[in-house]
Structure 1
Amino acid sequence: MPLEPEHIDKFLEEEIDSKFKTELLELLRKRIDKLCFKECEIDRIQCTLTPLCTHRSLLKIRLLNGLTIEDQPKFCYSVHKNIIFRDFRNKTVIYKPNDAYLYLVDFFDVFFHGDYRQLNKLFSKKDFKSANKIFDDRINNRDENFDYYLTDDQNFMIFKYEEKIHICFITENYALCNANRENITDLEVLFGLCKLFASIYFPEVDLKLNHSNCVEITSLIPKDSLLKISNSPPTDEDAKRDNYIWNVFPEELDALSQFCKEINIYMDKKENLAIKLNIGVVPEVRMNTYSSALLRYRDLRLVFNIIFRLYNDFYILHV
């Protein structure tokens, strides 16, 4: 039987002689460098159309480990940056650059060309007041449509262009573009995303960080709205709100339970129905198994969609 990838994976997971492990990893490093700098880049057509690593993932390994742009295969990185730019401009691309990373200066060049050098300088000095003036000028005077939010500890800047989310990791000096399947690993990012989306779509929803390192999101169905909901399953297909509460909402609660550490539903002092979600970035472990999944950016969008529906259909029309 030939050697399979899972054999190597198992070998690395087990307690092994560090010398053997180092030797194996060095072989892997040499193979990656040869693949990137010799086999792939030597043929620019191939590198552009069919790179030898899926969606140029080997660029990500170098970037996330603190290597500079000088350590990247230059042509491959330039193609990668151009694909993100073309996608941003709604032009045809070979593949959708979801979960794509750029160095911060290149992120500014793609999304804020003309101001990118100044923005890079301002971010390096953490002069966010001046940077915000540039963003506001683009929104108010240049007809650019985006929202942004600087997190409370000023470690992250979040940008929202329509349905696309981009995260600037300020200290690490890189950005995640078109966040989708990547896991949300920092509570500050999670809270910032909740604040940004709440300010746009559901401003009266209550947000706070609780003692268990979770974001607590509380949405209300007012008493007056509750009284209008049928006490029995609806028979009229046009009774949209009744149908939602009786037939759709239980399924959405089940979906939420995959990503929430805790869900509390109770009557508050004013007899409104309160729905409280506790969401964290570390999955809950109960009985040696995960009771909630690692939270991805796309999962958080699902949570926001449910809150948005509750807010618009049951809250905003009755306050």
Structure 2
Amino acid sequence: MTKLKNLSLKKVVFYLVLTVVIFYLLFPFYWAVNTSFKSEAQLSMTPATFLPVDPETGEVSFYLRNYEAVFEDDQFMRGLLNSTIVAGFTTLLALLVGSFAAFALGKLRFKGKRPSLYVILAMTMFPQVTVLSGLYAVINYLNLDAILSMILSYMLFTLPFTTWVMTAFFKDLPIEIMQSAQVDGATPFQTFRMILLPLTAPALVTTGLLSFIAAWNEYLFALTFTSIDVKARTVPVAIQYFAGNFARQEPFGERMAAAVIVTIPIVILVLIFQRKIVQGLTAGAVKG
């Protein structure tokens, strides 16, 4: 009887903690969606309402002009395209270079292997602001395009992460796979491309998606490198300078609508690749 009570108590505590965590994670997104469907008058209501309510009648009323304003804003739509290009190419480059580096660090033997891993790990510890001024000076000296500058600068935080995570996956692959391929006459590159790389698909999806999210949401580098070239602004910067079409004051509702639209592609990608993401995050957790 005591065991049953303890088990029931543990379940209650577990579901209580789970409810708090879910509420903590989802409530900001819910509030953003709620705000995006409110007019300026609805946003001015006190106390704030958990649903868009008409100030006069008190009935639920969704204000859709915020989304109309966002889709009619050329700067925001251009920012979506720029963010897609920058985040997409950053992810591809990080996976391409990172997988090669991870293969070398995880499966090949060479001098300086361990110090190289420590250097890669140390690169992830530097705040962006510490390298911003020097990086901006180098890019100005080379006279690089703003979009190319962002792609190359985003590699500073996506490439070390990708390399470090992929190295752990390559280390866990049995060495017998490489030995069998060598016996069959495969070169190291053929072994990497045709045998080992497909086995690390969960890691590629996980690191690729996280790199894409990091590049998609990055603000500091984007704000700095697009300060002159306005047409190259990405979505976070475009939202910052979003003036609004219908709101006469600060366009909070329109900015929230823009934030919701920007979040949707990430949610869709996570839902599509959720199985691979779980495999990538849990691989190596249990050794048999």
- TM-score normalized with structure 1 length: 0.23
Larger proportion of strand = 1
The structure with the greater share of residues assigned to helix is 2
TM-score where L is the length of structure 2 = 0.25
